[in-house]
Amino acid sequence: MKTVDYRVSEVFRAMSHPTRIAILDMLKGGPLCVCQIYPALGLDQSITSKHLGVLRSQGIIRGRKEGLKVTYEITDERYLQVLEAVKEILKRQWYLEGKMWNDSGKDR
């Protein structure tokens, strides 16, 4: 039986890639089709599918097939809260350090 710590580590590992964080950010607004996700990320369908698979295997997102398309959504809103919490911690740290930052060129 896997320990809780081990499962927690798997979840953090799944969330520890910029592309997968970008995917979670996209899903904040609600379910999205794969066909909407990978063009928005500017990535290959194949690579995107693998990242979705990592998040899905950890139960962070779930997909349902609707005809040819697959729509993904967050399984538990608290994963988004966790993500936001870390962003907030870092923003404060950076603020304290007097730094500026941005994501994909967009100012925050």
Partner DNA sequence: GTACTATATGAATATATAGGAATATAGTTA
Partner DNA sequence: TAACTATATTCCTATATATTCATATAGTAC
Query: Interface with a second copy by CB under 8 A: which residues?
Result: 1-13, 15-18, 20-22, 25, 59, 76, 78-79, 81-83, 85-91, 93, 99-104, 108
Residue 46 vs 102, nearer CB to a second copy: 102
Q: Which is nearer to DNA, 46 or 107 (CB)?
A: 46
Binds 96, which of DNA, a second copy, none (CB < 5 to 8 A, cut-off by type)? none
- The contact set with DNA (CB under 7 A) reads 13, 16-17, 19, 33-35, 43-47, 49-54, 63, 65, 67-70
Least separation in angstroms between residue 35's CB and a second copy is: 22
- Rounded to the nearest 10 degrees, the angle between the axes of helix 18-27 and helix 34-41 is 130
Question: 18-27 and 77-96 helices cross at what angle (nearest 10)?
Answer: 120
d(CA 60, CA 35): 19
Q: Which of DNA, a second copy, none lies near 95, with the C-beta cut-off 5 to 8 A by kind?
A: none
Burial, 14: exposed, middle or buried (Cβ in 10 Å; 0-12, 13-18, 19+)?
A: buried
CB-CB contact of 108 with 94 (8 Å): no
Token digits of residue 94: 């950076």
